[in-house]
Structure 1
């Protein structure tokens, strides 16, 4: 594989999500030997300021830190960038304008994952950070593809979803399962045919317990599949 197919991974948001992305990229790649895998460089910088705080409460702007990572991946010879953090995609346009490298969009990858799961249209649920929901990163793109997007109630976000995300960031992954499963199940009860796990901490919590009895679009896996498609195009 040529150096042009070196994948850059802008991670650290959070660190476990970035590390898990690298693992899933490896496990999902069709390979029988080391040399069949995708060359990749992980830039894991947990110092990037909180994206939700920046968007909702005037916190420090993460963009300079994101651009620093992009420049590092450019200098390393990467040919494209994957960002295993959903909320960071609120700065997608500014990042893409600042780099010559194509950035794989996690929401587009999630839409492909929904189709792979058989959910081509209709109602789908979305679990995400408050920042991702406020920026309508998923709602606008998925509604344009014919989906109706259901999100948790404000009370559920405050009581269940955001605390569970914090548990994962604090390495208490098992504790996140029950509240996240509750939130996902409530979306299905409201008519969702599948649930998008639209924060890369959420699949980590969901995977810590029994499989849910309905389709979930894991955005870590979705982005890994998009990266594989870029690095190993069909044909």
Structure 2
């Protein structure tokens, strides 16, 4: 039987969100119908954005160590619910012998004929061109907000990470209105804290949730059926 390995802890709320979605979207009637999952909730991995911006410790070896641990524990493949950490994807992938599913690539496959999207993400994801580097292969144009609006997105992300209850004070509508002014109605919630924030804020729209997409891909790779929710 296949076992999914989750390289987590970035942050723990995002990791729990992925696990919840794996359970939610698995068509299961009993415990044994669900997925056997190994999780390394490695919260000590240094901040990915800080490193990409030249302000922090390189998390690469920590990510490799976690992947190797999951492999040694018996994981059949690895998934990682952190968009920014995919900056290090190639190095981590090269360090293990089992498949490492690229969440960004899974999102691109989901877009089908859509050729222009907006991206809400960390400054590290923006600066590292994490989405653009993959989406360009699919002919998809990625639009990002201006610097002042990136600060708004960052504020929302880190308030979720810090467990704050005042996320409704963040003017994220300004960023959504900016994308609307560009004629963009498909927006990627490109940080795994953002689906959590949007759910709490009850914001509705044409959003792509990479965490959900990764959860569904995980279920399919295990060979289980998807439950429509």
User: Runs of 4+ in structure 1 displaced over 4 angstroms?
Assistant: none
TM-score normalised by the chain length of structure 1:
0.90
Instruction: Report if aligned partners of 1:21, 1:221 keep a CA contact under 8 Å in 2.
Output: yes
TM-score normalised by the chain length of structure 2:
0.92
Counterpart among 202, 222, 226 of residue 231 in structure 1: 222
CA drift of 1:233 comes to 6.8
CA drift of 1:154 comes to 0.6
CA drift of 1:186 comes to 2.1
- Alignment match, 1:180: 172
User: Where does the alignment leave 5 or more consecutive residues of structure 2 unmatched?
Assistant: none
Corresponding residue pairs, total: 225
CA drift of 1:146 comes to 2.2
Counterpart among 60, 85, 90 of residue 88 in structure 1: 85
Where does 1:10-159 land on structure 2 (aligned, <5 Å)?
10-115=7-112, 120-158=113-151
- Alignment match, 2:158: 166
- Distance in 2 of aligned mates of 1:55 and 1:191: 30
User: Where does the alignment leave 5 or more consecutive residues of structure 1 unmatched?
Assistant: none
Kindly report the root-mean-square deviation, in angstroms, between the aligned alpha carbons of the 2 structures: 1.7
Instruction: Report if aligned partners of 1:8, 1:82 keep a CA contact under 8 Å in 2.
Output: yes
- Distance in 2 of aligned mates of 1:105 and 1:179: 31
